[in-house]
Structure 1
Amino acid sequence: MAHEQQFLDALKSIFIGAKVEGESGYINLMKIKANYFEKGVFPFLMKDIDLICKPFEKDFREELFDKLYDFFQHYFSESGSIYFRNTAQHHNIYEKVYTDDHDVMLFWKTHMLYYVKTDRLFNSMEIEIDSPAKRKFFFDNSGMELKRSNEKRELTYTFKSIKNGIITLTVSYSEKGRKTKIDEIVQAAKDNGMMLDEEMLEKAFAVFQKQSEVDYFINKNAKAFLDEQFDLWLYQYIFKGESEFNELRLKQLQAMKSIATKIIDFIAQFEEELVKIWNKPKFVLNSNYIITLDKITDEALLKEIFKHKGMINQIAEWQELGMVDKKFNLDFVLEKNLLNEPTNPQYRYLPLDTKYFKDLELDILALFDDLDSALDGWLIHSENYQALNTILPKFLGKANCIHIDPPYNTKSSGFLYENNYGHSSWLSMMNDRIVLSKSILAKNGIFTCHIDEYEFERLNILLDMVGFQNAGTMVWDKGQPVTGAYGLATQHEYVIWKTIDNIKIRVKKRNLELIQAQVSKLLKKNDGAILQTIKDYRSWLRNNNDLSPAEKTFDSFEDTGRIYRSDNMSATDKRTDEKFYRPLIHPATHMPCPVPEYGWRYSPNSMDDLLAEQKILFGEDHTTMPRKKTYLDESETSQLPSMYRSGARGKQGLDELGIAFPFAHSIEFYEYILRSAAPEVNDIILDFFAGSGTTAHASINLNRDDGGKRKYILVEIGEQFINAILPRIKKVVFSDNWKAGIAQEGKGISHFAKYFELEQYEDALKKARYEDAPLFAGTQDAYTSYAFLRDLKMLEAVRVDKNDNNVEVNLEKLYDGIDLAETLSYLTGKWIRRITKDTVEFQDGTSANLSAPDWDDVKSLIWW
């Protein structure tokens, strides 16, 4: 019985996962799993084992459980995830790591999994600290709301009580930046007759926080994975351990496989249920709009907004954001001069947030004939896989640029993410999100991704496996070496550029007109003196930090003022054809000039064309090797170089805006990237690791610069969505000039964006209802029947009237604040034209009822 009990205890433990206290969808998941095991798997399994083992001796039953334990214990983790968990090399576990199309593949242990999140398995616990007096603490974790996704959140502690000399502290995750108030805990303990100090509390906190950190995964196809692994295991067991087979032994081995297959079927069916919940489309929740005042073209509506009670909170927000001072009056917005022009034009870019005017929101939206086309951006507060999977039907093939700055997977980086993933967890996290985003990218779109040395090679191979074409890697020279304990001092990072089709990445010569104007200005100043003007011009180039390194190479000009640079014409590889070694004849001395050691870069015909076009630069005599003359104005674009040099830090820009965020790349760097990655004025830009919102800021700046209508889609799960992204968007549309969080005189821009939350996997787990009852009834086959067919899941929102043959849907029973119009837009892939109280009208002319939703429209959201 020892092997049997060992296997059953292990199966229950690893199938249900480690015990976790608190409140969350994961706690509900553990309850569902426990019920599935105890009332579904276990009774049927034991009955079938008894039946199958009956013809054999007792020893076979012990062998069966021993071998089942030996196999399954390799593949289950403490979080209940199914993958290569305990698979040391000596266990001889095999996996196919190549395909017919690729002889080199990137393999990682969790490649068959959806990465959900990394979290700690916190449990309530008692701790004793001896410094200097003994104190006992009890950390109460029972009411803790666990993380919804992989956002980084700090633990906070509050005083609860002191009883029998034990100090009880309540543990929770921080909300809206809330911190532990140690002084309040110390004072509360003092009021209850016990002395504490900060050092003692910090020690207690540290001990409590040293609890297990685990990765949560879902196996994409648990049945196929476990079936394949068991076949390999059984093959090794049979042919490595036995050499003779009789009829009885073959029947025993068949029985062993039959039981293993039944266990796999049970396990796989539950894992498939989790896959369905993970991939189900998600509800849009708590949506609002940010809209600048200039877009409220109905003056009567604008005056109604100004009289609204929510205007008090709106003005307070403007003051808090540094846009207006305490003297601000709404009359300032409407004031006009004798020419009927606004007296205070800067106020037309004040951003309204419709969360203060929900009863007027539909009136505001009614101002637009084509709502989605009028929007400049979508800001999505969500875990990024859920967001990408949800928005995919609507934005399929529509994003012209994907620009992401993911966590670099290092302990020392400044990102507000759970950053220290193992390579496998990190690759799984990146892989599925990149695959989804590739479907959103247009055929001629560009994918760019920031990364450092640590994951650069693995990420590059991953992107190739996903099916991207390599467009090159940009090396960002940050100019400030960071020393380490070993190796080189690092002063660079990378931006990987990929495309779907092979296209040339070009950059617009942004400063072409500026450079030309400067040469004209200096020629006029120096009365046409060329040598002095060239000297002054080169000094101006050296000292102008707004010019790119490539632009600074255009350091000469002709008498006419036409600007050029001198380029080397040597071949990069040694030419073998003699025609590439034909010397050029100097126009003055009529003698042959030197030929490059490797020959000319261009063919003889091309060299003749350059001579005819007077694009060959000769020296004073024939001893100087000729060079090619390249004019600045030959084209408005040039191929983007692979080097970018800048020591600028984004933190300084955030400080000027008054945004508290520890790390960001510079806005100048993002603008430089987007000028090539999203050069067209109507491009759509996607960033699903939005951080502090720098991508949206850069998109807005480009529109401000060239009058474009680029749209952005930002996805972020962390608290910075509320604390950094939203205030940043509001600030930068109001003005492009800030100092210490206060708007200075600058240039605003008209803007209209929507922001909202998405239902999360965790939320769906928490809402899903699975009955606490036997899973199978009657003649159902427990191994092939769908175990959860009779469960409600999220059908509490539905009422069926059998008499009228009618299905009524009331989604308010599930969540407050559902934006059904936006939800249906993503579900159907249709863009919104108009929204009224009861109807959403789509651009294709169809519509949907919002007050009485059609069951067929919402079925996939609430039942799977």
Structure 2
Amino acid sequence: MDYFIHKNLGGFLRRELDFYIKNEIIRLDDIEAADAPRVDEYLKKLRVLRKIARRIIDFLAQLEDFQKKLWLKKKFVIETQYCITLDRIPESFYPEIAANDRQREEWIKLFAIDDIKADMAQPGYSKPLTVDFLRANPFLTVDTRLLHEDTKEKLIASLVDLDESCSGILLHGDNFQALNLAQTRLSKQIKSVYIDPPYNTDAGPIAYKNGYRSSSWCSLMADRLAITPPLMSADGVLCATIDDYQQRELSYLIEQQFGQDNLLGTIAVRINPSGRPVPSGLAQAHEYAIFARNTSAGELEKLPRSEKQSARYKQEDENGNFMWELFRKRGSNSERKDRPSLFYPLYVMGDSIRAPKMRWDEDKRVWKDIEPPKQGEVVVYPLDDSGSERTWRGKPSNVAGAPENYKAKTNDDGSITVYYKFRPGSEGVLPPTNWIDSKYSATEHGTGVLKHFFTGVSPFTYPKSIYAVEDCLRVSGLGDSQYALDYFGGSGTTGHAVINLNREDGGNRKYALVEMGAYFDTVLKPRIQKAAYSKDWNEGKPVSREGISHCLKYIRLESFEDTLNNLQLPDTPRLNVSATDSSEMARDYLLKYWLEFETTGSPSLLNVREFSDPTAYTLKVKQPGSDAQVEKTIDLVETFNWLIGLHVAHLDQPRRYAIEMVRETDPELPQDQDTRWRATSIKEREDGEFWFRAVEGHVLRVPGDELSRERVLVIWRKLTGHSGRDQAALEAWLGKRGINPRESEFARIYVNGNHALPSDGEAALRVQLIEQTFAQRMWEDA
């Protein structure tokens, strides 16, 4: 479903109303010809018209502003799961995993483990699987979706530095909503943004509900590009690919968002060597990759030399490969006036060269006191064939310090040409503006790759060449432990490319991909799992089983449609307008405030009363491809982590405690209520009355600055309905962990439910209510 929401409908309609009245209603000729009574009657009609129209506008604006607020609300996380390779999982979990038939069947589907035969080196496939089989296949990924909830929670609790250990994040949902939710968690952390938006052509148009196809596409792109820079690091680089159909519009939108000075260039990539037929015009063989940087700190990096380029360096000495290159500079900035210090004589005898001793005159910008040549030496200056004064490529000191790196050749006409040893730098070559290598073919290395991954049939149309995406990420400068973001995730080529780069050099680059299509589950996630398990595939089966250690987190977000479907109106109106004495007040309430006021407390609008049990907050979620809705439990813990930007170090499993309590007198309490509950013992027990779950991690006080880390503790608990006992249980739990809210290593401690923890001094800033912060962060941009 498509939603088009006006950002300021009320203001727009009021301006249009005034314009309409001035240009279509008011006629100065009629006013001049009329007497005073008729003019007065005429103005009264105008006032009535304007009054009625403005009331209609107020009502329409209420509807549209409410929709806008719902759209900008940060969405709930509906589900959180992990895919973790076995090498990262403690072996104590192996027996249960081996006995899990659902996981075994998925491994057959993904990795064809039923083809693994036993030999002298390893055990083979069996039903059920054995623990030894799991040990022998460390790169099989365990999907926590297939585990019992208790096992999943214990497994996640066993992982050290949870978020840091994740190699990537997959977000299922609208990309605007995903970017909006990630504004705090990923702020200033994205090094490379690679997007391949829908091209909006007849081959792949967006299913718009109106005829303004291009303008709707531009609106879609502009809104998402607008919230991209806050996620990017100062040296972050964006690459967006597009074809001719919308290239002009996308280039303008990127320039508008990043500024002309931050445009880094456009590369034409030949993705179809034979060309794609079009109804009229030339066969289209290329598309564009537009590069822009977030700030002036961003730069494009070089590409590794191709085999063809490296083959040019056929000669070798003790310092490595080289080729003889002309020492006289050519092209731009090669004239003497450009670099006068590089215009000097060289003395040649045979094929040997030396630089004479001389002195640089800074005032006159010339070399002076030049040592005279020895007998038999020929003086050579950097003059071109026309006799124009050029420059050498290096300083005299370079020649004097290593004359063996230079040679002279006497030509047939008696002229002398000077050469130097040009070596391939380890940093590679500057990327050209046209990429024509066959490896960029989307047919062979895009569709072809997916066919190999998925039983000979490509489950996704128009995937990118894996090599094109890899090189775009290289040019963007994606380095170790840095994030690549793709919010048009598609078939997952960007995540696959990041895995390939890590496999190539053992790096720890990370990816964040966003996709809302059904192929999130059928293509994107399986492809990432397969790419980590094996580099090469054929007919859906791995060619080898040489995988890499990997952990990905995938989450599903509440959709805008879910938000609308979970609005609730009370059986009895919160405000009975018919009972009010003021008709004007009643009218204003209905026209301006009714919708927001009456839907307060709806599940999708945040009902904090339901936070008393963090495991029981539910929404009706629409099922893909149908109108059916299923009630699902919302992951409040994960949602809150994203809202506050928490980098999770440890997500503990839920724990229950049996706590013995007594009532004791507290002189600080009022005389008629001078007793309180105090815990005398606390023991962890499966049938305990009190439920707690702790999350530890850090936030960055300054986005992107790791030196500004602040430790955070989030305490979730199920409230019993007895505030006194809940408070005593909280104090006992903190005491068991040795945490004093007044003097703690945590800069922030968040707790759900009312409590009486210290609220004076530093503790007032340190201890905060989850409900209050949750509401503030969820609605701060709406």
Does the TM-score normalized on the shorter chain lie above 0.5? yes
Residue in structure 2 matched with residue 791 of structure 1 by the alignment: 598
- Pairwise CA distance, 1:556: 5.1
Q: Report % sequence identity.
A: 27
Q: Does the alignment pair 1:828 with 2:682?
A: no
Which amino acid in structure 1 is aligned with residue 587 of structure 2? A
Q: Does the alignment pair 1:632 with 2:438?
A: no
Q: What SS does the corresponding residue of 1:315 show, helix, strand or coil? A: helix
Residue in structure 2 matched with residue 497 of structure 1 by the alignment: 291
Q: In structure 1, which of residues 188, 200, 224 is the aligned counterpart of residue 11 of structure 2?
A: 224
Q: In structure 2, which of residues 96, 101, 104 is the aligned counterpart of residue 315 of structure 1?
A: 104
Q: Does the alignment pair 1:748 with 2:547?
A: yes
Q: How does 1:653-692 map to 2 (within 5 A)?
A: 653-658=449-454, 660-692=459-491
CA distance, structure 2, for counterparts of residue 399 and residue 579 of structure 1: 40
Are the equivalent residues in 2 in contact too, given 1:594–1:623 (CA < 8 A)?
A: no
Residue in structure 1 matched with residue 536 of structure 2 by the alignment: 737
Residue in structure 1 matched with residue 93 of structure 2 by the alignment: 301
Are the equivalent residues in 1 in contact too, given 2:333–2:339 (CA < 8 A)?
A: no
Residue in structure 1 matched with residue 179 of structure 2 by the alignment: 388
Which amino acid in structure 2 is aligned with residue 230 of structure 1? L
Residue in structure 2 matched with residue 486 of structure 1 by the alignment: 280
- Pairwise CA distance, 1:783: 3.9
CA distance, structure 1, for counterparts of residue 153 and residue 120 of structure 2: 25
Which amino acid in structure 1 is aligned with residue 595 of structure 2? F
Q: Deviations over 1:349-397 (max 9, x none)?
A: 0111111113311111122232111111111111111111112121111
Q: 1:345 to 1:562 in 2, by over 3 A?
A: farther
Q: What SS does the corresponding residue of 2:514 show, helix, strand or coil? A: strand
Q: How does 1:49-88 map to 2 (within 5 A)?
A: none
Residue in structure 2 matched with residue 645 of structure 1 by the alignment: 436
CA distance, structure 2, for counterparts of residue 441 and residue 593 of structure 1: 47
CA distance, structure 2, for counterparts of residue 302 and residue 554 of structure 1: 53
Residue in structure 1 matched with residue 735 of structure 2 by the alignment: none
Q: 1:261 to 1:799 in 2, by over 3 A?
A: closer
Which one is further off, 366-375 or 805-814? 805-814
Which one is further off, 583-592 or 298-307? 583-592
Q: What SS does the corresponding residue of 2:410 show, helix, strand or coil? A: coil
Residue in structure 2 matched with residue 570 of structure 1 by the alignment: 330
Are the equivalent residues in 2 in contact too, given 1:775–1:788 (CA < 8 A)?
A: no
Which amino acid in structure 2 is aligned with residue 570 of structure 1? R
Q: How does 1:504-523 map to 2 (within 5 A)?
A: 505-507=299-301, 510=304
Q: In structure 1, which of residues 754, 772, 782 is the aligned counterpart of residue 587 of structure 2?
A: 782
Residue in structure 1 matched with residue 772 of structure 2 by the alignment: 856
- Pairwise CA distance, 1:807: 7.1
Q: What SS does the corresponding residue of 1:408 show, helix, strand or coil? A: coil
Q: Number of aligned pairs? A: 602
Q: Deviations over 1:599-655 (max 9, x none)?
A: 6786x795646655667775433647667754213x535433323223333111111
Q: 1:502 to 1:322 in 2, by over 3 A?
A: same
CA distance, structure 1, for counterparts of residue 387 and residue 593 of structure 2: 72
Q: Deviations over 1:209-240 (max 9, x none)?
A: xxxxxxx3001111222223333333333677
Residue in structure 1 matched with residue 741 of structure 2 by the alignment: none
CA distance, structure 1, for counterparts of residue 393 and residue 608 of structure 2: 81
Q: What SS does the corresponding residue of 2:517 show, helix, strand or coil? A: coil
Q: What SS does the corresponding residue of 1:846 show, helix, strand or coil? A: strand
Which amino acid in structure 2 is aligned with residue 845 of structure 1? V
Q: What SS does the corresponding residue of 1:571 show, helix, strand or coil? A: coil
Q: 1:455 to 1:369 in 2, by over 3 A?
A: same
Q: 1:327 to 1:707 in 2, by over 3 A?
A: closer
Are the equivalent residues in 2 in contact too, given 1:571–1:601 (CA < 8 A)?
A: no
Residue in structure 2 matched with residue 41 of structure 1 by the alignment: none
Q: Deviations over 1:679-719 (max 9, x none)?
A: 31110111110111011111111111211111111110111
Q: 1:228 to 1:624 in 2, by over 3 A?
A: farther
Q: What SS does the corresponding residue of 1:348 show, helix, strand or coil? A: coil
Are the equivalent residues in 2 in contact too, given 1:346–1:748 (CA < 8 A)?
A: no
Which amino acid in structure 1 is aligned with residue 237 of structure 2? I
Residue in structure 2 matched with residue 590 of structure 1 by the alignment: 379
Are the equivalent residues in 2 in contact too, given 1:506–1:637 (CA < 8 A)?
A: no
Q: In structure 1, which of residues 210, 235, 246 is the aligned counterpart of residue 22 of structure 2?
A: 235
Q: Does the alignment pair 1:812 with 2:615?
A: no
Q: What SS does the corresponding residue of 2:245 show, helix, strand or coil? A: coil
CA distance, structure 2, for counterparts of residue 755 and residue 258 of structure 1: 52
- Pairwise CA distance, 1:450: 0.7
- Pairwise CA distance, 1:313: 1.2
Which amino acid in structure 1 is aligned with residue 138 of structure 2? R
CA distance, structure 1, for counterparts of residue 339 and residue 524 of structure 2: 60
Q: Deviations over 1:427-477 (max 9, x none)?
A: 001111111122211111111111111111111111111134101112112
Q: 1:692 to 1:720 in 2, by over 3 A?
A: same
Q: What SS does the corresponding residue of 1:449 show, helix, strand or coil? A: strand
- Pairwise CA distance, 1:508: 5.4
Are the equivalent residues in 2 in contact too, given 1:414–1:662 (CA < 8 A)?
A: no
Q: Could you list the runs of 5+ residues in structure 1 that have no partner in the other structure?
A: 1-116, 119-215, 336-340, 512-546
- Pairwise CA distance, 1:410: 0.4
CA distance, structure 2, for counterparts of residue 423 and residue 628 of structure 1: 54
CA distance, structure 1, for counterparts of residue 433 and residue 183 of structure 2: 31
Residue in structure 1 matched with residue 144 of structure 2 by the alignment: 354
CA distance, structure 2, for counterparts of residue 227 and residue 417 of structure 1: 27
Q: How does 1:347-426 map to 2 (within 5 A)?
A: 347-357=137-147, 358-413=149-204, 422-426=213-217
Residue in structure 1 matched with residue 712 of structure 2 by the alignment: 845
Q: 1:423 to 1:829 in 2, by over 3 A?
A: same
- Pairwise CA distance, 1:493: 0.9
Which amino acid in structure 2 is aligned with residue 494 of structure 1? Y
Which amino acid in structure 2 is aligned with residue 734 of structure 1? Y
Q: 1:643 to 1:705 in 2, by over 3 A?
A: same
Q: 1:483 to 1:346 in 2, by over 3 A?
A: farther
Residue in structure 2 matched with residue 5 of structure 1 by the alignment: none
- Pairwise CA distance, 1:786: 1.9
Residue in structure 2 matched with residue 698 of structure 1 by the alignment: 497
CA distance, structure 1, for counterparts of residue 419 and residue 241 of structure 2: 37
Q: How does 1:426-505 map to 2 (within 5 A)?
A: 426-468=217-259, 469-478=262-271, 479-503=273-297, 505=299
Are the equivalent residues in 2 in contact too, given 1:586–1:593 (CA < 8 A)?
A: no
CA distance, structure 2, for counterparts of residue 283 and residue 849 of structure 1: 17
RMSD of aligned alpha carbons = 3.9
TM-score of the two chains, using structure 1 as the length reference: 0.63
Are the equivalent residues in 2 in contact too, given 1:737–1:747 (CA < 8 A)?
A: no
Q: Deviations over 1:43-73 (max 9, x none)?
A: xxxxxxxxxxxxxxxxxxxxxxxxxxxxxxx
Are the equivalent residues in 2 in contact too, given 1:381–1:715 (CA < 8 A)?
A: yes
- Pairwise CA distance, 1:288: 1.4
CA distance, structure 1, for counterparts of residue 339 and residue 224 of structure 2: 52
Q: How does 1:120-199 map to 2 (within 5 A)?
A: none
Q: Does the alignment pair 1:287 with 2:80?
A: yes
Q: What SS does the corresponding residue of 1:826 show, helix, strand or coil? A: helix
Which amino acid in structure 1 is aligned with residue 50 of structure 2? K
CA distance, structure 1, for counterparts of residue 257 and residue 558 of structure 2: 28
Which amino acid in structure 2 is aligned with residue 620 of structure 1? T
Which amino acid in structure 1 is aligned with residue 772 of structure 2? D
Q: 1:284 to 1:776 in 2, by over 3 A?
A: same
Residue in structure 2 matched with residue 272 of structure 1 by the alignment: 65
Which amino acid in structure 1 is aligned with residue 158 of structure 2? L
